[in-house]
A and B are shown apart, each in its own frame.
Chain A
Amino acid sequence: MRVVIGEGSCGLAAGAGAVHARLSELFEQDNPTGAELGITGCNGMCFLEPIVDVYDDEGSLHRLVKVQAKDADKIHAENIDDYLAHGGYQAIGKVLREGMSQEDVIAEIDTAGLRGRGGAGFSTAFKWRAARDAKGDRKYLICNADEGDPGAFMDRAVIEGDPHTLIEGMLIGAYCIGAQEGIVYVRAEYPLAITRLKKAIEDATARGYLGKNILGSDFSCTLRIKAGAGAFVCGEETALIESLEGKRGMPRLKPPFPAQAGYWLKPSNINNVETYANVPWIISNGGEAFAAMGTKDSKGTKVFALTGKVVRGGLVEIPMGKTLREVIFDIGGGIRDGKEFKAVQLGGPSGGCVPASKLDTVIDYAELGATGAIMGSGGMVVMDETTCMVGMARFFLDFTAKESCGKCVHCRLGTKRMLEILDRIVSGNGEEGDIQKLEDLCYAIKDGALCGLGQTAPNPVLTTIRYFRDELEAHIDEHRCPAGECRELITYSINKDACIGCTACARQCPVQAISGERKSPHEIDPALCIKCGNCKTACRFGAVVVR
């Protein structure tokens, strides 16, 4: 028997460390079956954290398809032997021992139909070929682990739980393009990921999987970590390269693409963590096995960070081609508290909101793109009827405006002005023509911004205009927030017929805005009320009304 504690950042935050300590104590006192105690990274079921998995002979409790997550939940994140015991480093072994050529490997990736998992979905094989064919005395392979979308933590889970998979995937990539050095650009906000990856690199180097003449071949490759300082734009590949070079993180113009002139103007290949993590599986199981999953143009599996108003939030890895409905309702268990599904936000600040009418859209780069959202890196935020879509668009725009690097005019000033317009709309000061103004700005910014951050920043606003125009108009024309979320447009009051005078609301009010005698209806003073919503949460009789 094996007992595994999920000790990713999320698990630790939920108390996994204390659970581990206590279990260790207990195991020392009494362990008749000789059960092993192990740790792993995130196992995806965030809604249950902290999680202790008990494995008997029948294996995992999980029923989800796993490619890059593989046996992650059985693997001790800081133990290379665990990785090796579960088939680790066999893919690179296959490449080097069987004498696969660079093209052989890339052809396999091509057969698999692997596309970049960072968001844009560019063909991995195409990029690798371009970097391989580029002339240069030195080439670099870079891993983008600057996962910056709010609410996204797929890459962190991989590095924390199974860092060797990433290393192995990168090694194969480096072999394919002829790079002698790999760099993992991890955001500094991921200290646990950095610690574990650092240990994994040390262990892999000690065992000869990294360094000179790997597995006795001519192939040599080292790997190092660069901690990013937390700028969202550094997830954009050229800004990431600038940052790697020690410069201010601002995007470069493309072309030239990194494959021609990347890090220190040398040919470089950049993929994100999840993309590399898929590679060992593809080499071990064959491209066709990978391509057997998914749709015509979107192959394999994709990990999503399912969050928001869903019953079971967490990381889910699913084969492409499933519908949004299946993910949200079958896997996620539907909407919490019996509320109505309203929209799902995909792709974070670069993505958009998909409404209920589009729930049967299949997960596929083109299909999702057609809704106005994007596949993105895997953020999937579910919203119910209490979520204001204007507020949602404002939230993401606030994010991009703050994260704009300031280099190009359209992004630096365009997002700022859009944010100001949205700010006045959610505060009830919207003006006639604001929607048109927003749309004009959106299209000008998409055309004019220098990098992906700016070019996609209008997407959340555009989908709100496209699917929730009536909600925008209610804010502007009627100074009303239909979802009852925009503070400056709502008032809290108590329905006297429903209130039984239990005083629960008054006790929760932080500003003493609620008065009333015990057992008689209470009242809210609108002049004092700060619209925090505590009363509504506290009331068990539905007597607090938001208008």
Chain B
Amino acid sequence: MSVTYTIDGVEVVANSTDTILTSATRAGVEIPTLCFDKRTAIYGACGVCLVEVEGVPKLLRACSARPQEGYVVHTDTERVERARKTAFELLLSDHTGDCRGPCKLNCPAMTDCQKYVGEIRDGRYKDAVSTIYEAFPFPASIGRVCPHPCEDACRRQLVEEPLSIAFLKAFAADRIEADGDPYVVQCEPDTGKRVAIVGGGPAGLTAAYFLRRYGHAVTIFDKQPKLGGMLRYGIPEYRLPKAVLDREIEIITNAGVEVHTGVQLGRDIDFDDLRRDYDAVLLALGAWRSLNMRVPGEDLEGVVGGIDFLEHLGHDERPALGDRVAVCGGGNTAMDCCRTAVRLGAKEVYVVYRRTRAEMPASDVEIEEAIEEGVTFKFLTNPIEFYGEDGHVTGMKLQIMELGEPDASGRRRPVPVEGATEDVAIDNVLMAIGQGANCEGVASELLTQRGTIACDELTFRTEMDNVFAAGDVTNRGAGIAIQAIAEAQKAALCINNYLEGDEVRRHVPYFVTQEKTPEDFEDEPKQQRAKMPGLSPEERRSNFEPIYFGFSEEQAIKEASRCLECGCHDYYDCRLIRFANWFDVNPDQFAGQMHKREDKQVVDKVIMHDPDKCVLCGLCYRICDQEVGKTYLGLYNRGFSTEVNPMVPKEASAFCANCLKCVAACPTGAMKSCPSVERVTEIL
């Protein structure tokens, strides 16, 4: 006897053994469940399959309710939504773990570091590069120059030092390039939609890459003679060889991108024309203006912006410098400037910075290498005047500073020491205190007070419907390359939504995270971080040769093996996190006591059960009992303290069939098979 009913307006025919869940699933209406498995008797613990039936006062569990003729079932009422969502929020309020590793979560582009590091460890370099390409298209370039927020978050530093994640990325990309097996962009069929991208730097190119993947036609306009933006014109050759960058740009343009270089917005092309002629416009203009220091004398000859200085290098020019060069600023651009000045033959190069080394935003390794190359750091000094002869700078007056109270950024504020100054003779000043945007040609109503383009922080859409913006030109202004790339990746997704006629929105994914301390890793054997081989300071001072040789394969595999694999092994199969994002949960509202059971059950060297990730769906012990015919696992304690344990912990092995069916049935990452040598031996 079959019955016919509707669920969310879909007509469903159910047979006599069907529940609402089984019949609806067959009809393509997904009902979430964590505890249902057709191999076991209906259990009904998770309560996320609740549905509302017209005329039935209680919500029904779809896993057990039998549909009746003419039932009108809803899965999308407010009441169902609340009951289901609350269940997920409650579960997550007591769920301890890391859905994804801290490396990935700290990468602005959410690059799956743990995955590609693992692929490198396994020698699967092509897969590793493909993994990176899911996030952005510059593994070799970014691998060389990124200040790597991933490594800042890497938990390996709780053992000794973070993994050398960035260099591993460059290694994989270089390796497949050397193997003659480069990445090829796979594009969806053409959609017929056209997008204009103004700016061919990391943001513009990343957006072009993703938009091509979505199947849209892309045209890039760039003012410079060559694509690459700041990667080409802002980063010196010794850090990022142009040949490497060229290859990665070629991979993108080979995907079918129309490129117009030497074209400037507002001069050669008109903003309104672009809006009219293209379905969407992405403004990725970058931030090419060196900020002034508002110090007397900065218009003297010999005082130039750091960005402008580096841009000359990018054009293969060699600007003439005097013997004594001062670089003002403490960021990576300042480091690029001072190290370039050394290479151009300056005899004395000073970095003038108003705080101390500890507060410098530049990467530690950059500072270290600059010192090795002979750069003199003048910490706690601030230029208050540049002076000169015949219009050319000859010296600067520095105010001596000291550190006072912490400011809003948490760094201690530099304050002048009354009356303490120092005069330094110089021939050139390179100002690297920050970059501003130059948005000539862009409609003024799109601009912020600081001259950047205002856009939504989530969708990167501007006030104008079909205009998006990404990279250094947006909102707060310039940041590091991977931030610009990340914005472009997200903007491309939203442009795609827009072009497909969908709502322009971006879901910020929910992840379970946790904090760890060095104590958590006391038993972890120490393994030193791989040292990048490269030129000695003496060898690199006089030329622009790439300073790093790259990891050897042996080195790379060994380094990749240091990964602690913080991210949950079950992420891609985890039903809990999938539903959590489906229901847009906010478990923090129920924050309270969380289980922290230190004695994770390692059982029989076969199964590891993590009670802190367990949702008590009961599948493991029910499968063990009803499917395998063993009663190895069972529930212990009551209420909030309930947990799954082996029934006979002491004599575990005598009962376990080592079948791992419990592991496979677990809807989250609470059950794990232990990849130990012993296990393999035992199973054999």
Residues of chain A touching chain B, judged by Cβ–Cβ distance below 8 Å, are 231, 248, 250, 252-253, 255, 401-410, 412-417, 420, 437, 440-441, 443-445, 447-450
Docked CA distance A406–B635 (Å):
9
Shortest CB distance B591–A (Å): 9
Contact for B91 among A404, A413, A437, CB less than 8 A = A413
Contact for A409 among B64, B615, B638, CB less than 8 A = B615
Docked CA distance A447–B84 (Å):
9
Known pairs A253-B44, A253-B61, A447-B50; A410 contacts B639 (CB<8 A): no
A408:B44 contact, CB within 8 angstroms: yes
Chain A residue numbers with a CB within 8 Å of B59 are 447-448
Tell me the B554-593 residues at the A interface (CB within 8 Å): 589-590, 592-593
Chain B residue numbers with a CB within 8 Å of A441 are 86, 590
Contact for A444 among B44, B83, B592, B615, CB less than 8 A = B83
Docked CA distance A408–B617 (Å):
8
Chain B residue numbers with a CB within 8 Å of A407 are 45, 616, 618, 642
Shortest CB distance B339–A (Å): 53
Docked CA distance A449–B46 (Å):
9
Shortest CB distance A446–B (Å): 9
**Nearest residue in A to B88 (C-beta to C-beta)?**
A409
A410:B64 contact, CB within 8 angstroms: no
B58:A402 contact, CB within 8 angstroms: no
Contact for A406 among B61, B634, B642, CB less than 8 A = B642
Chain A residue numbers with a CB within 8 Å of B84 are 448
A406:B637 contact, CB within 8 angstroms: yes
**Nearest residue in B to A414 (C-beta to C-beta)?**
B90
Chain A residue numbers with a CB within 8 Å of B86 are 410, 414, 440-441, 444-445, 448
Chain A residue numbers with a CB within 8 Å of B637 are 406
Chain A contact surface mostly: helix
Contact for A401 among B47, B50, B91, B639, CB less than 8 A = B639
B47:A448 contact, CB within 8 angstroms: yes
Contact for B58 among A248, A405, A447, CB less than 8 A = A447
Shortest CB distance A279–B (Å): 30
Tell me the B621-678 residues at the A interface (CB within 8 Å): 634-635, 637-642
Docked CA distance A444–B583 (Å):
15
Chain B residue numbers with a CB within 8 Å of A404 are 638-640
Chain B residue numbers with a CB within 8 Å of A255 are 64, 66
A409:B87 contact, CB within 8 angstroms: yes
Contact for A253 among B42, B87, B91, B640, CB less than 8 A = B42
Docked CA distance A414–B91 (Å):
9
The tally of residues in B whose CB lies under 8 Å from a CB in A reads 38
Chain B residue numbers with a CB within 8 Å of A447 are 50, 58-59, 79, 82-83
- Our count of residue pairs bridging A and B at CB distance below 8 angstroms stands at 108
**Nearest residue in A to B34 (C-beta to C-beta)?**
A409
A420:B593 contact, CB within 8 angstroms: yes
Chain B contact surface mostly: loop
Whether B183 sits at the interface, judged by CB under 8 Å, is: no
Kindly list the 6 A-B residue pairs having the minimum CB-CB distance in the complex, ordered from nearest.
Answer: A406-B642, A444-B86, A413-B90, A253-B44, A404-B639, A447-B83
Whether B248 sits at the interface, judged by CB under 8 Å, is: no
Residues of chain B touching chain A, judged by Cβ–Cβ distance below 8 Å, are 42-48, 50, 58-59, 61, 64, 66, 79, 82-84, 86-87, 90-91, 93-94, 589-590, 592-593, 615-616, 618, 634-635, 637-642
Shortest CB distance A125–B (Å): 22
**Nearest residue in A to B64 (C-beta to C-beta)?**
A253
B640:A416 contact, CB within 8 angstroms: yes
A408:B64 contact, CB within 8 angstroms: no
Shortest CB distance B43–A (Å): 7
**Nearest residue in B to A423 (C-beta to C-beta)?**
B592
Chain A residue numbers with a CB within 8 Å of B58 are 447
18 cross-chain CB contacts under 8 A: A252-B44, A253-B43, A255-B64, A404-B639, A407-B45, A409-B45, A409-B46, A409-B47, A409-B87, A412-B616, A412-B639, A413-B91, A413-B640, A414-B86, A415-B639, A417-B93, A444-B83, A448-B83
Chain B residue numbers with a CB within 8 Å of A408 are 44-47
**Nearest residue in B to A447 (C-beta to C-beta)?**
B83
Given A253-B44, A408-B46, A409-B48, 10 further pairs, Cβ under 8 A: A248-B635, A255-B64, A406-B640, A409-B45, A416-B640, A417-B90, A420-B593, A444-B82, A448-B87, A450-B44
B47:A410 contact, CB within 8 angstroms: yes
Docked CA distance A437–B588 (Å):
12
Chain B residue numbers with a CB within 8 Å of A440 are 82, 86
Interface centre among B82, B94, B639 (most CB of A within 10 A): B639
Chain B residue numbers with a CB within 8 Å of A250 are 635
**Nearest residue in A to B641 (C-beta to C-beta)?**
A406
Docked CA distance A24–B659 (Å):
69
Docked CA distance A412–B616 (Å):
10
B638:A231 contact, CB within 8 angstroms: yes
Docked CA distance A253–B86 (Å):
20
Shortest CB distance A415–B (Å): 8
Chain A residue numbers with a CB within 8 Å of B592 are 416-417, 420
**Nearest residue in B to A406 (C-beta to C-beta)?**
B642
Chain A residue numbers with a CB within 8 Å of B635 are 248, 250, 406
Shortest CB distance A488–B (Å): 18
Shortest CB distance A222–B (Å): 30
A416:B639 contact, CB within 8 angstroms: yes
Contact for A448 among B50, B64, B94, CB less than 8 A = B50
